[in-house]
Chain A
Amino acid sequence: MKNLRGLLGSALIAAAACAIPATAGAVQIDGAGATFPYPIYSKWFSEYNKVRSDVQINYQSIGSGGGIRQLTNQTVFFGATDGPMTNDQLVAAPGKILHFPMVLGGVVPIYNLPDTGADLNFIGTILADIFVGKITKWNDPAIAKDNPGATLPGSDITVVHRADGSGTSYIWCDYLAKVSPEYKAKVGVATAVNWPVGLGGKGNEGVAGLVKQTPGSIGYVELIYALQNKIPFGAVKNYDGNFVRASLESVSAAAAVAADKMPPDFRVSITNAPGKDVYPIASFTWILLYQNPKDKAKSKMMLDFMKWALSDGQKLCGDLGYAPLPANVATMVATALNSVK
């Protein structure tokens, strides 16, 4: 008991010591937003602090919606989001807000069918039909058609979706709404939607846990989460008609193709992008900045960081399982940074 108390005491002291910022006197830049890029952002911030010890960036991963709200209320210097801001949101902000893609993410379908004998292939329209409740059995001919090698049971399909508002849901819905007009009409695209069927899990871990526990279930998680936890996932048919399994390369490829038609504000959806090896359920994640912020000194430091993140920073992506921006897109974004004052 005494030992335990001693241990607790020293743990508290250690925690207190950590709480004191290591670099007193450094300029602090505060940001808030998406949870999806949080691991790579915090890696960037700590690595960048080694290069430039006079800059300390704090990031609260409170969710894309919270990030947009805090940026609009000007309580943070920068925001971060997994889904681009809507026109209404942009108009509501007190100044012009710019979007800058930083890295890429993919979303993959995961399922629990113990004895299929092969990895499953999915078509977007069929995934949409499953998620609106039109296809309810695993041995539905529509699924069987693209999975000749797999034995599909006659059991019910249990749909598992995210219960919390999430950028992952946004990307998933964005893709399904693009390929299925019915999905677009019935469900729509947002970080949280009115799911017609199924049950919810909180976070990637919640969805993955439910799918793992429930035979006959299907859900969706971030590619990074599936890779890190070695969860098998299905391939999805892309715009060109090939079944592609998600990987860092096939997700980056989606952005490379989009570079030709990139709108100047970078608010672009790259789901269902054309290209032979492109994985269709991919998206940028953005950092949001005011074009004309009040604090020019801070703005300069933030821009320096962004340029670093778009060059040296991109090399850190792979280790953490993020798909880096293709070189041509990174250059475009770095050039666009010059418009920030």
Chain B
Amino acid sequence: MITPVASGRRARERGGFRLGTGAVALLVPLLVAGIAIVLTWDSLLSVRQFGLRFWVNSTWDPVAGIFGAFPFIWGTLYSSLLALLLSTPIALGIAVFLSDLSPRPLRQPLVFLTELLAAIPSIVYGLWGIFVLVPAVRRIESLTPPWLRRLPLFEGPPLGVGLLAAGLILSVMVIPFTASVAREILKAVPANQREGAYALGATRWEAIRMALFYGRQGIMGAVMLGLGRALGETMAVTMVIGYAPRASLSLFAPQYTMAAVIANEFSEAADDLYLHALVEIGLVLFIITIVINTMSRLLIWRVGSERA
């Protein structure tokens, strides 16, 4: 039997617990709102001066005081999408192998190694990029036949640094995230789904395809997690992208990203407008990240409701 005293304490405890966890949960939206407010406030000069042209203008000239973010937006999106294109098939391959095909003794070590990739600091990736990846990319670029080099996609001298190197290094960094989540999703597909497929005479490949289809919502989420990682990555990309604020279709061209320009120029920006323009780049990156995350959420929800 519960005495009135005890039940009162329980109610108090429950109320306190709810209040406490509620406050912690509120911290996140408050933090996001705080970031948005500070970014907007500290970029007001630039927002007023350039308005929406900031998003489409290609000139970044600290001397003349003209700032446009387009090359940086372009470089960020292009390198992230390239990374996504390269990493998704590989990550899904890893996930399928680990969940369905791998011999049992091999599984744990492989899972461990994949997740280890995610623990390597990005500056280490960056150094590896400079000393190993960039020379290798340069060799590949210089071996590209001239007729291919005439295409806009492969224009320019073989420098090594540039969009291709950035995309490659990003894809290596993204793979462990996508692969781990996709593996968890595949593991979570109910066993009776696969058993049912086998019972209907499906081959192993068909059963795996069925499992992938069953988990498509989660797998899309895994890919989007990778994209989020790629968009915000600073250090490793910064070290291999080549820093040329000129938007170009070419994979061989040195380009620039939003995170990289902030990292590079913030410390020497003494002029107010210059500083505000750099903060506005941060704001643009913030908005783009939110938009992409919202869009992917909507996409995942739509896929989810289709199934229902």
Name the one of B59, B62, B64, B242 contacting A192, with C-beta atoms under 8 angstroms.
B62
Cβ < 8 Å to A, chain B residues 214-259? 238-239, 242-245, 254
Do A188 and B238 form a contact, CB below 8 Å, given A65-B268, A214-B159? no
A100 to B167, CA, bound (A): 46
Report which of B59, B157, B162, B265 forms a contact with A164, defined as CB distance below 8 A.
Answer: B265
CB of B28 to closest CB in A, whole Å: 30
Contact of A191 among B61, B135, B268 (CB under 8 A): B268
B-chain residues with CB within 8 Å of residue A200 when the two chains form the complex = 242-244, 254, 264
Complex interface bits, B242-286 against A, C-beta within 8 A gives 1, otherwise 0: 111100000000100000100011011111000100000000000
Contact-residue bracket for chain B:
20 to 34
In the complex, the answer to whether B63 meets A199 with C-beta atoms within 8 Å is: no
B160 touches A (CB below 8 Å): yes
- The answer to whether A194 and B62 touch across the interface, beta carbons within 8 angstroms, is yes
Q: Does A338 interact with chain B (Cβ within 8 Å)?
A: no
Q: A192-B62, A193-B62 are in contact. Are A89 and B157 (CB under 8 A)?
A: no
Residues of A225-240 at the interface with B, using a CB-CB cut-off of 8 Å, are none
Contact B239 A213, beta carbon cutoff 8 Å? no
Within 8 A of B (CB), among A47-68: 62-66, 68
| Inter-chain contacts of B157 with A (CB < 8 A) | 156, 158
Number of interface residues of A (CB under 8 A): 33
Report yes or no: B62 in contact with A199, Cβ–Cβ below 8 A.
no
Q: Do B264 and A198 touch (CB < 8 A)?
A: no
Chain A contacts of B59 at CB under 8 A? 194
Instruction: Please tell me if B189 contacts chain A, counting CB pairs below 8 Å.
Output: no
CB-defined contacts of A195 to chain B, threshold 8 Å? 244
Given that A193-B61, A202-B239 are known contacts, is A64 also in contact with B160, CB under 8 Å in the complex? no
Inter-subunit contact B270/A89 (CB<8 Å): yes
- What B residues does A193 contact at CB under 8 A? 61-63
Q: Is the beta-carbon distance between A164 and B61 smaller than 8 angstroms?
A: no
Number of A-B contacts (CB under 8 A): 89
Query: Among residues 190 to 223 in chain A, which have CB atoms less than 8 Å away from a CB atom of chain B?
Result: 190-195, 198-202, 206, 209-210, 213-214
Given A158-B159, A200-B244, verify A194-B60 contact (CB < 8 Å). Answer: yes
Inter-chain contact B267/A65, CB cutoff 8 Å: yes
Contact at A164–B267, with CB atoms within 8 Å?
yes
Secondary structure at the A interface, as helix, strand, loop or mixed, is: loop
Task: Say yes or no: B62 contacts A163, CB within 8 Å.
Answer: no
CB of B211 within 8 A of chain A? no
A178 located at the interface, meaning its Cβ lies under 8 Å from any Cβ of chain B in the complex:
no
Contact A64–B254 (Cβ < 8 Å): no
Instruction: Tell me which of B63, B239, B242, B267 contacts A66 (CB under 8 A).
Output: B267
Instruction: Give a binary string over A269-280; 1 marks a CB under 8 Å from any B CB, 0 the rest.
Output: 000000000000
Residues in B neighbouring A63, C-beta threshold 8 A: 267-268
Does A187 lie at the interface of the complex (its beta carbon under 8 Å from any beta carbon of B)? yes
* Shortest distance from the beta carbon of A181 to any chain B beta carbon, whole Å: 15
Closest to A63 in B: B267
Residue B183 lies at the interface, judged by CB distance under 8 Å to chain A:
no
- Bound state CA distance, A201 and B243, in angstroms? 7
Q: When the two chains form the complex, which single residue of A62, A190, A199 contacts B243, counting CB atoms closer than 8 Å?
A: A199
Contacts of A166 in B (CB 8 A): 268
Instruction: Tell whether, in the assembled complex, residue B270 and residue A64 are in contact, meaning their CB atoms are under 8 Å apart.
Output: yes
Which B residues touch A156, using CB under 8 A?
A: 157
Which residues in chain A, 302-318, are within 8 Å of chain B measured between CB atoms? Answer: none
| Chain A residue, CB-CB nearest to B242 | A199
Distance in angstroms from B94 CB to nearest chain A CB is 28
Interfacial chain B residues near A199, Cβ < 8 Å? 159, 161-162, 242-244, 254
Q: Is the CB of B63 within 8 A of A190?
A: yes
* Chain B residue nearest to A62 in the complex (CB): B267
Provided the pairs A68-B270, A200-B254, A214-B159 are in contact, do residues A194 and B64 lie with their beta carbons within 8 angstroms?
Answer: yes
Most chain-A Cβ atoms within 10 A of its Cβ — which of B157, B238, B260?
B157
Pair B264/A164 contact, Cβ less than 8 Å: yes
Q: Is B164 close to A, CB under 8 A?
A: no
Say yes or no: is B130 at the interface (Cβ < 8 Å to chain A): yes
B134 on the interface (CB 8 Å rule)?
A: yes
Q: Judge whether A188 and B267 touch: CB under 8 Å.
A: no
Give the distance to chain B from A169, nearest Cβ to Cβ, in Å. Answer: 9
Given A89-B270, A200-B254, A213-B135, check contact A192 B265 (CB 8 Å): yes
B160, A165: Cβ atoms closer than 8 Å: no
Which 4 residue pairs are nearest across A and B when measured between Cβ atoms?
A165-B268, A200-B243, A63-B267, A188-B63
Extra A-B contacts (11), CB below 8 Å, given A65-B268, A89-B270, A166-B268? A89-B271, A188-B61, A191-B62, A191-B270, A192-B264, A192-B268, A192-B269, A199-B162, A199-B244, A200-B242, A214-B138
- Return 12 A-B CB contacts under 8 Å, by A number: A64-B268, A64-B270, A66-B268, A164-B267, A165-B62, A191-B62, A192-B264, A192-B265, A199-B162, A199-B244, A206-B239, A213-B134
